[in-house]
Amino acid sequence: MEHSVINVLFVGNNFARIMQGLWTSVWISVDSLAAGLVLGTLLGILRTLPSKPLRFILRLYLEFFRIVPTIVLLYLVYYILPRSFNISWPASWMAILAFALWVAAEFSDIVRGAIESVPVTQKESGLALGLSKTQLFRYVLLPQAVQLELPATINLATRVIKTTSLLMMISIMDVIAIGQQIIEANNQKYPTAVFWIYGLIFILYFIIDYPLSLWSKKLAAKENR
Amino acid sequence: MKKNKLKRRIAIWSVVIVVLLVTFFGFRSSLNDSTGGSDSSVVAIKKRGVLRVAVFGDLPPYGWVDEHGNRRGYDLRLARRMAKDLGVKAKFTQVNANNRVDTLNSDKADIVLANFTVTPERKQVADFARPYMKVSVGVISPKNAPITNERQLKNKTVIVNKGTTAENYFTEKGGVHLLKFDSKTQQFNAIKNKRAAALADDNSYLYAWVKRNPSYTVGIKNIGPNQYIAPAVKKGNKSLLDWTNQEITKLTNQGFFVTDYNKELKPYFGKEVKPSDIVLN
């Protein structure tokens, strides 16, 4: 009996379908992270500039995305935005849009913090050498800030990957949605299949997230040395 | 130092390449599910060649996915038939109970065929076509002490699931002792442990459960008012609504739903249930 329950994972295309779902989760996270990190770096630099109104607007942006739950953001971009602006992109693009804006907001704060914690003597030395503002950021502040922001960035990446489990709410067939299809399809014959399916999904998320988390720990330890 | 720089360069470039590859394959796979515009009139559907249907993916036997990844069920068979009669292909969007209306309103689907029960509240936000199925509250009891008539329930204990139509019905009616549970699993365990004389719930669940627990019987198949399951379209989409009404009438007359019942629901419900308990005529 136990044996046949495990078979639920491998009967037909079930395993391939779960992998397909995992791929959807992964590519959406990778693209949202890539877009969000680029935009977030720009916003983070802008937030270190002295202009008060600019800082205020960017602060509002950050707080908005930090406070509004991700599920609400997804609903906004998938159900409300198309209705008011007549955009009809596939669900996955809308998800990337929502996630990238969220990542950008969170990352802008990480970048701002990192740039501000580069010792002020570095900045002054750079200016004394006659570097322009752009050169100062490019050669002095950003390279040192990257070191400081890496652990927090990896942490953000693992959070994004985990949050993709909300994608099923906007009709995207991610790994959780496929898992539920399989569970419900077998609920009559194998009520305990739910443990095996969620167990497998747990292991898959773990395989993706744990190396990232280890890496961030290693980097943090390096920094403290 | 130089070696370090080279290493870093390789690392950066490999990240860039991985991101580009993922983006390429990801976007390529997503092109299949572009939503296809906001016009859901019959003319637009025929021109597009695709009928976009919102369905359940986790509710056997109405809408579910088999182990080969094919969508199946009572609603799915109807969806494919409707697409065939329109002369177009069917394309499915999986929804859950909460986003059925939003999916219609934001033009992600032309029609919802997802076990959608007609209620006065829902009628205000979507247009329902002619119903294609009915459900109502049923009552199960042990075969050796069957309850086949509502009068037999007087002053007896009845198990219900909180928040269901069954609970509402008996609370309003009065005259029975209710024993309420939070989940289906709990309520079915309670009747097995002889905590009550009977259990009331949506009859479609009961048929399936009784099939697996043959010492019980659905003594009362319908109690209280019937509830109807119907296709829903976006509010104001008259052209598709009219077409769907004609289609449901035509399919009912052709006996399509009896065939649909026999193919999709009968294996789950067993012999005790007749098509006329579910299908409308």
Confidence of residue A2 (pLDDT cuts 50, 70, 90): low
**B34–A82: do the CB atoms touch at under 8 Å?**
no
Q: Is the pLDDT of residue A56 over 60?
A: yes
Let me know whether B234 and B128 are in one domain: yes
Amino acid at A77: V
For chain B, where are the E strands, in sequence order?
50-55, 58-59, 63-65, 71-72, 89-94, 111-112, 126-128, 133-142, 157-161, 177-181, 198-202, 216-229, 232-234
Confidence of residue A225 (pLDDT cuts 50, 70, 90): low
Let me know whether B57 and B110 are in one domain: yes
Q: Is residue B99 part of a domain?
A: yes
Let me know whether B121 and B196 are in one domain: no
Mean pLDDT of B179-203: 89
Beta bridge partners of B111: B53, B233
> What's the pLDDT tens digit per position in A97-129?
999 999 999 999 999 999 999 999 999 999 999
Q: Are strands B58-59 and B232-234 parallel, antiparallel or unpaired?
A: unpaired
Which contiguous run of DSSP H or E holds residue B205? helix B203-212
Q: Is the pLDDT of residue A196 over 60?
A: yes
Average pLDDT, chain A: 90
Question: What burial letters (b/e) apply to B103-124, b meaning 16+ CB within 10 Å?
Answer: bbbbbbbbbbbbbbbeeeebee
Let me know whether B106 and B150 are in one domain: no
**A90–B67: do the CB atoms touch at under 8 Å?**
no
**A88–B99: do the CB atoms touch at under 8 Å?**
no
- Top-confidence residue, A67 or B182: A67
Q: Is the ipTM of this complex over 0.90?
A: no
Confidence of residue B160 (pLDDT cuts 50, 70, 90): very high
Average pLDDT, chain B: 89
Q: Which chain A residue is nearest to residue B54, measuring alpha carbons?
A: A171
Q: Which chain B residue is nearest to residue A23, measuring alpha carbons?
A: B26
Q: Which of A150, A178, A181 best probes binding to B when mutated, by most B CB atoms within 10 angstroms? A: A181
Which alpha helices (DSSP H) does chain A contain, by range? 2-7, 14-47, 52-67, 70-75, 81-85, 91-116, 120-128, 133-135, 142-163, 175-186, 193-224
Structural domain that includes position B247: 36-132+230-274
Q: Which residues of B touch A169 (CB under 8 A)?
A: 96, 99
> What's the pLDDT tens digit per position in B76-125?
999 999 999 999 999 999 998 888 999 998 888 999 999 998 988 899 99
A193-224 vs A175-186: helix crossing angle, rounded to 10: 160
**B67–A78: do the CB atoms touch at under 8 Å?**
no
Let me know whether B248 and B201 are in one domain: no
Q: Is residue B17 part of a domain?
A: no
Let me know whether B270 and B161 are in one domain: no
- φ/ψ region of B216 (left if φ > 0, alpha if ψ in -120 to 50, else beta) reads beta
Let me know whether B127 and B154 are in one domain: no
Q: Is the pLDDT of residue B251 over 90?
A: yes
Q: Is residue B9 part of a domain?
A: no
Confidence of residue B56 (pLDDT cuts 50, 70, 90): very high
Q: Is residue B254 part of a domain?
A: yes
Domain boundary among the residues B186, B211, B226 is at B226
Let me know whether B170 and B234 are in one domain: no
Domain boundary assignment for chain A: 2-224
Q: Domain A2-224: what homologous superfamily?
A: MetI-like (1.10.3720.10)
**B33–A90: do the CB atoms touch at under 8 Å?**
yes
Q: Is residue B211 part of a domain?
A: yes
Predicted pLDDT at B202: 85
Predicted pLDDT at B35: 58
Q: Is residue B222 part of a domain?
A: yes
Q: Is residue B22 part of a domain?
A: no
Predicted pLDDT at B213: 86
- The shortest C-alpha distance from A14 to chain B (Å) reads 6
Q: Chain A interface residues facing chain B, Cβ-Cβ under 8 Å?
A: 11-14, 17, 24, 26-28, 30-31, 34, 75, 78-80, 82-83, 86, 88-93, 168-171, 173, 177, 180-185, 187-188
Q: Is residue B21 part of a domain?
A: no
CATH classification at residue B143: 3.40.190.10
Predicted pLDDT at B2: 65
Domain boundary among the residues B226, B242, B263 is at B226
